[in-house]
């Protein structure tokens, strides 16, 4: 396909594709899917070889969030039967983190529900970072605490945080239909605060919330413009008890097309396969490794993932290798350290916002969306906040 040849050439040169080309990737047929994966895989291998970076989530404070993000099981008014607990003690969080590191994780992501941290919360997280790094030499620590206020990013950096995660999630045009208690601009501002403090910026998206192809391209081009170092791609986990519980509109094939589009737009950043991969990619997860160079190991914040050993087996069976702690993740041209400008963990770009000519985009041939697999949505009942050992 001329489209894929052009996209590979651009990806190898780190050149931004057009919006029309990005939309065309999402509109390719299932018959062309393996060609799309192979093309994006060439770009992935150019910048990351066959390495897969492992990341491990520690949910420091679960549930009881005052924000109304429709996709979230921890949101205001959520009826999802998730674990709810207040702040883990630094020692408890460090023990959970160590389990992930022992399983092969290179980065530990510390997450807390809420609009944003208080200064006391920053103190707590700073103590937790110190405890984790004391027990795990060389581990990367990424904080994800919500919207930041003045000076908090600098304090986290001084405490030893390497990165900060704050996802854009969806396009600016549709953001208000997903969340009303804060804005898209608030999220952009927090990512920029993290970058200004020298933290590696991590920012990504959630697919499967009922958005259009144009929305997906908008948010990925928005990420390119922000230029984070890593871009987590989440696929909606439709928890019962949340407003989006009935949004089952992803197929494994569509997920792969989305990942390929992100790789073409963000060729040299850490593209991370994040929440929902087990639910929506299912047995096609190994194909995604040809598109992404990073995954989460084990469980997520409020849901269970596949067994940590199964993740390791999948990587080996697909012919990839776990990235070592002494390997720099990002290509040298993105700067020294684990990532690029600011050492990120998410995504980055120089967006071009020219409108595509809809008449030149191929028609979607996605087939029927399969029946909802609610049996694959499992609430986390082990690890942080419980007496059971974590999955790592």
Catalytically active residues, by annotation: 65, 69, 72, 109, 142, 202, 272
Q: Is 65 annotated as a binding-site member?
A: yes
Quick check: 256 and 285 in contact, CB under 8 A? no
Q: What does the longest C-alpha to C-alpha distance in the chain come to?
A: 58
Q: Is 72 annotated as a binding-site member?
A: yes
Q: Which of 288, 367, 330 is nearest to 36 (CA)?
A: 288
Q: Is 346 annotated as a binding-site member?
A: no
Q: Is 202 annotated as a binding-site member?
A: yes
Give CA–CA dist 256/36, Å, rounded: 9
In which residue are the tokens 């958005």 written? 211
Distances (CA, A) of 111 to 43, 146, 348: 31, 9, 21
Give CA–CA dist 131/207, Å, rounded: 35
Quick check: 131 and 139 in contact, CB under 8 A? no
**Distance separating the N- and C-terminal Cα atoms of the chain:** 41
Quick check: 77 and 68 in contact, CB under 8 A? yes
Distances (CA, A) of 38 to 8, 32, 354: 10, 10, 27
Q: Is 69 annotated as a binding-site member?
A: yes
In which residue are the tokens 């999630």 written? 169
**Parallel, antiparallel or unpaired: strands 321-322 and 51-61:** parallel
Binding residues for [4Fe-4S] cluster: 65, 69, 72
Binding residues: 65, 69, 72, 109, 142, 202, 272
Binding residues for [2Fe-2S] cluster: 109, 142, 202, 272
């Amino acid at each position: 396909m001329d489209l894929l040849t052009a996209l590979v050439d651009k990806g190898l040169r780190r050149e931004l594709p057009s919006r029309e080309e990005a939309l065309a990737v999402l509109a390719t047929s299932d018959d062309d899917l393996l060609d799309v994966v192979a093309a994006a895989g060439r770009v992935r291998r150019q910048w990351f070889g066959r390495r897969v970076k492992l990341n491990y989530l520690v949910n420091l404070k679960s549930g009881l969030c005052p924000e109304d993000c429709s996709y979230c099981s921890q949101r205001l008014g959520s009826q999802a039967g998730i674990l709810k607990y207040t702040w883990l003690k630094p020692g408890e969080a460090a023990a959970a983190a160590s389990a992930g590191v022992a399983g092969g994780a290179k980065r530990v992501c510390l997450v807390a529900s809420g609009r944003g941290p208080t200064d006391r919360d920053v103190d707590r997280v700073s103590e937790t970072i110190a405890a984790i790094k004391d027990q795990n030499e060389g581990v990367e620590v990424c904080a994800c605490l919500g919207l930041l206020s003045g000076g908090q990013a600098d304090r986290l950096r001084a405490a030893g945080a390497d990165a900060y995660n704050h996802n854009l999630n969806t396009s600016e045009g549709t953001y208000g239909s997903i969340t009303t208690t804060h804005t898209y601009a608030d999220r952009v501002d927090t990512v920029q605060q993290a970058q200004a403090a020298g933290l590696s910026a991590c920012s990504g998206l959630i697919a499967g919330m009922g958005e259009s192809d144009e929305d997906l391209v908008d948010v990925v081009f928005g990420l390119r413009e922000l230029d984070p170092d890593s871009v987590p791609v989440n696929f909606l986990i439709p928890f019962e008890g949340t407003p989006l519980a009935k949004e089952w509109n992803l197929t494994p094939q569509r997920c792969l097309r989305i990942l390929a589009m992100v790789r073409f737009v963000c060729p040299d950043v850490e593209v991370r396969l994040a929440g929902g991969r087990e639910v929506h990619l299912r047995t096609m997860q190994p194909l995604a490794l040809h598109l992404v160079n990073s995954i989460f190991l084990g469980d997520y914040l409020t849901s269970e993932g596949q067994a940590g050993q199964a993740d390791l087996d999948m990587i080996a069976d697909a012919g990839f290798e776990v990235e070592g702690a002494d390997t720099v993740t990002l290509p040298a041209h993105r700067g020294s350290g684990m990532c690029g400008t600011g050492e990120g963990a998410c995504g980055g770009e120089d967006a071009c916002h020219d409108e595509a000519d809809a008449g030149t985009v191929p028609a979607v041939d996605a087939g029927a969306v399969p029946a909802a697999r609610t049996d694959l949505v499992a609430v986390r009942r082990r690890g942080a906040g419980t007496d059971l050992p974590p999955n790592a």
